[in-house]
Amino acid sequence: MTHYTALPIPDATLTALRERDDAGHRPRPVTADEGGEPLRCCLRRARPGERVVLLTYAPLRRWAARTGAEPGPYDEQGPVFVHAEPCPGPDPEAVGYPFSRPGALRCLRRYDAAGRIAGGRLLTLPEEPLPALEAAFAEAFALPGTALVHVRAVEYGCFHYAVPRP
Instruction: Tell me, yes or no, whether 94 lies in a domain.
Output: no
C-beta separation of 98 from 6 below 8 A: yes
24 shares a domain with 73: yes
Sheet bearing 148-153, strands edge to edge:
117-124, 105-111, 148-153, 159-164
* Interacting residues of 102 by C-beta distance below 8 A, sequence separation 6+: 125, 126, 127, 128, 129
pTM exceeding 0.95: no
Q: Give the pLDDT score at 157.
A: 83
115 shares a domain with 67: no
Into how many domains does the chain fold?
A: 2
123 shares a domain with 156: yes
18 shares a domain with 79: yes
Instruction: Tell me, yes or no, whether 36 lies in a domain.
Output: yes
- Give per-residue burial for 132-157: e unless 16+ CB within 10 Å, then b: bbbebbeebbeeeebbbbbbbbeeee
C-beta separation of 127 from 133 below 8 A: no
Q: Give the pLDDT score at 134.
A: 97
72 shares a domain with 39: yes
Q: What does the alpha-carbon distance between residue 27 and residue 29 come to, in Å, rounded to a whole number? A: 6
Per-residue pLDDT of the chain (166 residues; tens, 9 = 90+): 679 999 999 999 999 999 999 999 999 999 999 999 999 999 999 999 999 999 999 999 999 999 999 998 989 899 999 999 999 999 999 989 999 999 999 999 999 999 999 999 999 999 999 999 999 999 999 999 999 999 999 988 889 999 999 9
Angle at 130 between CA 80 and CA 57, to 5 degrees: 15
Instruction: Tell me, yes or no, whether 4 lies in a domain.
Output: no
Range of the domain at 151: 105-164
Q: What does the alpha-carbon distance between residue 100 and residue 120 come to, in Å, rounded to a whole number? A: 18
Domain end position, chosen among 83, 118, 147: 83
